[in-house]
A = this chain, B = another copy of it.
Amino acid sequence: MKKVKEVRWEILETKELFRADPRLVVTVQKIRLPDGRIVDDYYQVEYPEAVIIAAVTKDKKVVMSRQYQHGLGHVTTVLPAGTVPKGEDRLETAKRELLEEAGYESGDWSLLSQSSSHLNHRGSKVTIYLAKDAVKTAEPQSGDLEEMEIMLLSEEQILEAIKNNEIKSLGTVTGLVLAGLRLQEDK
């Protein structure tokens, strides 16, 4: 089996096709592949970067939100999340979103992972944080378009919800798994 080389594709040209600040930018790239082939039209769509927060209380319940998601077309259960405004540090965004969206705070934050929402077309850069020993300090006041219902779920309830497809967000499932693995490690 041949080993994959740790190379990047070479971007020969990037042309902007559509922009709606600050929501999204569509570009098309001319690419040279490692084997020399040229691809003329590789599309990239960039959104503002996003944070997802896996906040866990002292008694090991995870703070989650039940809300409508328009990209999905129905209500689902997600981890608190938000987009990072220009000029704000992403950890600050995460702290703010957890407080505004869910009314929770934590003094123990750590990074779980960084990825992109779409592995071909880029999408949002996504950073997932773990917030341990989260405590409720306020009433939720998200100011978001979506109405939200905050709930605390145990590990058992979460596994059941994932299995039954009640958690549809790929980022939320990934955040929950990473948080579970990190908490096991910390024991």
Contacts and interface: CB of A to CB of B under 8 A. Distances in A.
Interface stretch (A54-62, A93-101, A174-182): A174-182
Contacts of A178: 162-163, 173
B181 A162 contact: yes
Contacts of A70: 9, 31, 42, 44, 119-120, 122
A12 B122 CA distance: 29
Contact of A71 (B2, B72, B121): B121
A78 interface: yes
Nearest to A7: B68
Contact of A72 (B115, B165, B185): B115
A118 B117 contact: yes
Interface residues on A, range: 35 or more
B170 A177 contact: no
A175 to B, nearest CB: 9
B3 A68 contact: no
A173 to B, nearest CB: 4
A123 to B, nearest CB: 6
Contacts of A150: 1
A4 B120 contact: no
A86 interface: no
Contact of A67 (B4, B41, B42): B4
A138 to B, nearest CB: 14
B71 A123 contact: yes
16 contacts: A1-B151, A4-B75, A5-B75, A5-B147, A8-B68, A8-B74, A23-B41, A26-B26, A26-B45, A31-B70, A44-B70, A72-B116, A72-B122, A115-B168, A118-B124, A177-B177
